[in-house]
Amino acid sequence: MTWSTVADFATALTLLATAGVLIGLVNTLRDQRRQALLYLHGYLARDELSAAREAVRCRLSTIPYAAWTDDDKLHASRVCASYDQAGFLMETKVIAPAQAELLLRSSWGESVCDQYEALEGFLDARQTPSKTGRAFFVHFGRLY
């Protein structure tokens, strides 16, 4: 056996080991993204957020913003913040683009649009010292 054969054998082993590590990393990344999607789904499905979306969809969408109570505005803020977080996770690709597209093509995507349209008065009226609601919840707007 020559040194050249030994070197070729060592190179082949190194390439196989590197391929194994890369496959492991890809699988780990895929699992992390899958878990991120499951986290987001679980977060959005929480009872208080579901109740807030229902309040917006069934009641707040039918009355003028000027008539909203403080509780109504709290529901609106929860919806905006939750969809803003979802948009941030998608925009930063913590949620893989293919998974984000799948989520937005489901009933969640319809919910984003319905909720955004119902909350436009809230978003226009919401002010912070430096931003309006639309600028404050920018990722929600990008989802829409």
Give the DSSP per-residue string, 1-23: --HHHHHHHHHHHHHHHHHHHHH
The region that residue 84 occupies, defined by phi over 0 for left and psi between -120 and 50 for alpha, beta otherwise, is alpha
d(CA 139, CA 83): 7
Higher pLDDT, 10 or 54: 54
Task: Yes or no: say if 69 and 77 are a contact pair by the CB < 8 Å rule.
Answer: no
Looking at the predicted structure, is the pLDDT value of residue 6 above 90?
A: no
User: How does pLDDT run across 12-25, given as a tens digit for each residue?
Assistant: 666 666 666 566 55
The total of other beta-carbon atoms located within 10 Å of residue 114's CB is 16
Q: How many CA atoms lie within 13 A of 36 on its CB side?
A: 21
Mean pLDDT, the chain, integer: 86
pLDDT recorded at residue 12: 64
The region that residue 64 occupies, defined by phi over 0 for left and psi between -120 and 50 for alpha, beta otherwise, is beta
Cα→Cα distances 60→107, 119, 140, Å: 20, 8, 18
Structure tokens, 79: 């919806």
Looking at the predicted structure, is the pLDDT value of residue 73 above 70?
A: yes
User: How does pLDDT run across 86-96, given as a tens digit for each residue?
Assistant: 999 999 998 99
- Label residue 136 by pLDDT band (50, 70, 90): confident
